[in-house]
Structure 1
Amino acid sequence: MLTNQKSLFNLPESITYLNGAYMSPQLKSVEKAGHDAVSKQGFPHKIGVDDFFNGPEMLKKAFAELIDVPDFNNTAIIPSASYGLANAANNVKLEPGDEIIIVDAQFPSNVYAWQKVAAQKKATIKVIATPKNLTGKGKAWNKNILDAINKKTAVVSLGPIHWADGTIFDLRAIREKSKLYNAALIIDGSQFIGAAPFSVKEIKPDAVISVGYKWLMGPYGLGMAYYSDDFNDGEPLENNWINRYKSEDFTQLVNYNPGYQPKAGRYNMGECSNFILVPMLTESIRQLLKWQPENFQNYCNSISKKGISNLQELGCSIEDDDFRSKHLFGVYLPKHIDLQNLKTKFQQESIHVSYRGDAIRVSPSVYNSEADFEKFVSCFKNK
């Protein structure tokens, strides 16, 4: 059972940070790993050939364990979600007339990549609209996604949850339906992985992408990706030296090698050895493995359920438990509560949340408590 972990962070006591989906605060251990790495770079003569490869391998192994990947060689180090999604989009099989399914108001990085490849390949993007009725929205939305998958479908690309309000998408059912038509399933896990259980073994997606600075609790500028064996012969975005076969042998670098590192190794970003960010992200993932994502979800549920019930009593709309993540959810206001007044109250009380679409996006973490939600809910009263 996970307990409050705020002591492991440097968050000021004066603020209530319910905004992990925007950016995670830095763990003290991750900050230390960064400081140590910066100091080490002051002595480049102590950085050897092995350092270019050992750090990335440890990071890939940690990420593979986190998302239940049998072979860490199927993972790659990326600088951003857009980079990882572009690798996937550029290598899926598309024919003129094929359809790419995405959901309404999806995060831009998981839209632009598909718009570009759809234009190139004369494919069509099919957007599954958000159900208008907030009651039962998650159930209806999932049904509409499943109904949209047919013989024209070549790709389904979405997150495990919607980034704006935490609506859960049934990836197992979507994978099962997409498999019937040999459609690829590409997952943007940036607002999910690290905070909730995720298994590549169980879901069998074609690719999974995640930034590092949200629920992986790492630094900005580094992320991770998984690519299935179907991508083993794909064309990477970059032609850098380190993703080439036998690049570990510096004496042979001028003997240019047409081959790539095994499996997803070809998709590693240039300078993937980043001597500062790699140790930081490795440390944060190791901490997540100690906590375990299931415990993370349970903790967020335990501290928020009373507050959610109180908000619903005040007339706010929040997705049903079965179709709502516990670390990220949207609060939709009734007409009698004014959003601008509420924002002013949050500012006065030093409460940090986000606003996405029509929802107040609330994203608690292991550094929050039930008292944080009591303070949050109190701002809604007498408005």
Structure 2
Amino acid sequence: MLNNQKDLFNLPDDITYLNCSYMSPMLKSVAEVGVRALYGKEDPTSVKPEDFFKNISALRAEFAKLINAKSGNDCAIVPSVSYALANVAKNLKAGHGNNIVIADEQFPSNVYAWKELEREKGIELKYVSAPNVKEGRGKLWNERILETIDSNTKMVATGHVHWADGTKFNLSAIRERADEVGAILVIDGTQSIGALPFDVQKFRPDAVVASGYKWLMGPYSSGVAYFGEYFRDGRPIENNWMNRLNSEDFRNLINYQDEYQPGAIRYEVGESANFILTPMLTRAIQQINEWKPENIQAYCKNLTAPFLNELQNIGIIVEDEAYRAEHLLGLRLPEHMVMEDVKKRFDAERIFVSIRGNSIRVSPHLYNGKADLRRLTECFKVSRPA
């Protein structure tokens, strides 16, 4: 069991930060890597040709370990979710008469790419909305997704958890249903990978992407992706020198190559060796691999469980345990509570969470302790009518 890890961060002592789903605080060790890398360019002779490839290989290897991919060659370094999903969109084998099933109200990056396909190729988008119920919401939502997938579905696009409220999707069941109709499964893991166990051997996704600056604890403008067999021979949205075969040989770069690097590397962004961001994200994922996502889930569950019971007793609506993640919780207010009043209490007490629609998104991590959850809980209690 992990202990509190706040000493590994530089979070201010006068705030309660329960908002890792917005942006993680920087680990001291990751900041140190970034500072060293920043000053490293003072002497460009210290950067050797082989360093370009050592940098990216190390990051791919750590991400492959995190998601249980067979090889780092199955992974690619990307600057954003939208970049990776643009590669998916370019290589999706679908057209008029086919459809894409997506969980409704996802983060826009996992929608806009498919809307473009709707306009260009006439592919129908089927949005599956959450049911408007107080109990059994997650279960019903999952059932609706499975029911919506049909013989014309070519792709299912969702997160492992919903970004706004932490509702967990049953990826094993969705994968099984997608197999029945010959559809691929594409996952935005930004709000889950790093804090919630994710195994590509178990879920068998065709593509996965995660931004680096949230649960991967890395810097902004960095991310990682996984591309499965469906995309092995695809064409990337970008042609750069490093994603071409034999690019490691600097002396022969003008012997232009038609072939790409093996596996998912063809989908990698140009300048992926970024000598500041790439080592920082590598160090961050190394730390996560040391902690292990299952231990992060267990820590968050033990931390929040007693306080969730208190909140439910005063009318706060929380998703059933089987259909929620422990690191990202959507708290829905009962009718007698006013969102603006609760938000004012948070502001006054310097408690940082996110308001997403009618859900208060609470996302703890290893730097949080019982005192943080106590302060949060008291804000809801004060907000109750006399």
Q: Same fold (TM over 0.5)?
A: yes
2 CA distance for matches of 1:44 and 1:332?
Answer: 53
Determine the structure 2 residue equivalent to 1:322: 322
2 CA distance for matches of 1:337 and 1:358?
Answer: 12
Within 5 A, what are the aligned runs for 1:58-77? 58-77=58-77
- Residue identity matched to 1:306: P
Determine helix, strand or coil for the equivalent of 1:90. helix
Determine helix, strand or coil for the equivalent of 1:23. coil
Do the aligned partners of 1:74 and 1:229 also contact (CA within 8 Å) in 2? no
Deviation at 1:95, TM superposition (A): 2.3
1 CA distance for matches of 2:165 and 2:126?
Answer: 21
Deviation at 1:106, TM superposition (A): 0.8
Determine the structure 1 residue equivalent to 2:301: 301
Within 5 A, what are the aligned runs for 1:355-370? 355-370=355-370
CA deviation vs aligned residue, 1:129-149 (integer Å, no higher than 9, x gap):
110112100000000001111
Give ranges in structure 1 of 5+ residues lacking alignment: none
Determine the structure 2 residue equivalent to 1:159: 159
1 CA distance for matches of 2:68 and 2:192?
Answer: 14
Determine helix, strand or coil for the equivalent of 1:105. coil
Deviation at 1:153, TM superposition (A): 0.7
1 CA distance for matches of 2:15 and 2:382?
Answer: 22
**Residue 372, structure 1, aligned to residue 375, structure 2:** no
2 CA distance for matches of 1:127 and 1:347?
Answer: 35
Within 5 A, what are the aligned runs for 1:197-212? 197-212=197-212
Determine helix, strand or coil for the equivalent of 2:164. coil
Determine helix, strand or coil for the equivalent of 2:242. coil
Within 5 A, what are the aligned runs for 1:126-275? 126-275=126-275
Q: TM-score, normalised by structure 1?
A: 0.99
1 CA distance for matches of 2:140 and 2:84?
Answer: 30
- Residue identity matched to 2:183: A
Determine the structure 2 residue equivalent to 1:54: 54
Deviation at 1:357, TM superposition (A): 1.1
Determine helix, strand or coil for the equivalent of 2:197. coil
2 CA distance for matches of 1:306 and 1:180?
Answer: 41
Structure 1 stretches of 4+ moved >2 Å = none
CA deviation vs aligned residue, 1:203-258 (integer Å, no higher than 9, x gap):
11100000000000000000000000221111101011111111111111112111
Determine the structure 1 residue equivalent to 2:7: 7
Within 5 A, what are the aligned runs for 1:94-109? 94-109=94-109
Do the aligned partners of 1:219 and 1:281 also contact (CA within 8 Å) in 2? yes
Determine helix, strand or coil for the equivalent of 1:94. coil
Task: Tell me how large the CA RMSD over aligned residues is.
Answer: 0.8
Greater CA drift, 247-256 or 12-21: 247-256
Do the aligned partners of 1:34 and 1:279 also contact (CA within 8 Å) in 2? yes
2 CA distance for matches of 1:127 and 1:259?
Answer: 38
Q: TM-score, normalised by structure 2?
A: 0.98
Give ranges in structure 2 of 5+ residues lacking alignment: none
2 CA distance for matches of 1:45 and 1:103?
Answer: 50
- Residue identity matched to 1:46: S
Determine helix, strand or coil for the equivalent of 2:360. strand
Deviation at 1:88, TM superposition (A): 1.1
- Residue identity matched to 2:257: N
1 CA distance for matches of 2:175 and 2:310?
Answer: 36
Determine the structure 2 residue equivalent to 1:30: 30
2 CA distance for matches of 1:59 and 1:362?
Answer: 29
- Residue identity matched to 2:125: I
CA deviation vs aligned residue, 1:31-85 (integer Å, no higher than 9, x gap):
0010011111111111010011001000000000000001110100000011011
Determine helix, strand or coil for the equivalent of 1:376. helix
Deviation at 1:118, TM superposition (A): 2.3
Determine the structure 2 residue equivalent to 1:82: 82
1 CA distance for matches of 2:2 and 2:206?
Answer: 32
Determine helix, strand or coil for the equivalent of 1:380. helix
- Residue identity matched to 1:56: I
2 CA distance for matches of 1:346 and 1:129?
Answer: 29
Determine helix, strand or coil for the equivalent of 1:151. coil
Deviation at 1:382, TM superposition (A): 3.2
2 CA distance for matches of 1:72 and 1:45?
Answer: 28
Deviation at 1:275, TM superposition (A): 0.2
Determine helix, strand or coil for the equivalent of 1:242. helix
CA deviation vs aligned residue, 1:166-221 (integer Å, no higher than 9, x gap):
00100000000100111010000000000011100111110000000000000000
1 CA distance for matches of 2:118 and 2:87?
Answer: 14
Residue-pair matches, total: 383
2 CA distance for matches of 1:240 and 1:34?
Answer: 25
- Residue identity matched to 1:43: D
2 CA distance for matches of 1:297 and 1:382?
Answer: 29
Determine helix, strand or coil for the equivalent of 1:50. helix
Deviation at 1:307, TM superposition (A): 1.1
- Residue identity matched to 1:60: R
- Residue identity matched to 2:347: Q
Deviation at 1:21, TM superposition (A): 0.1
Give percent identity, aligned residues only: 49
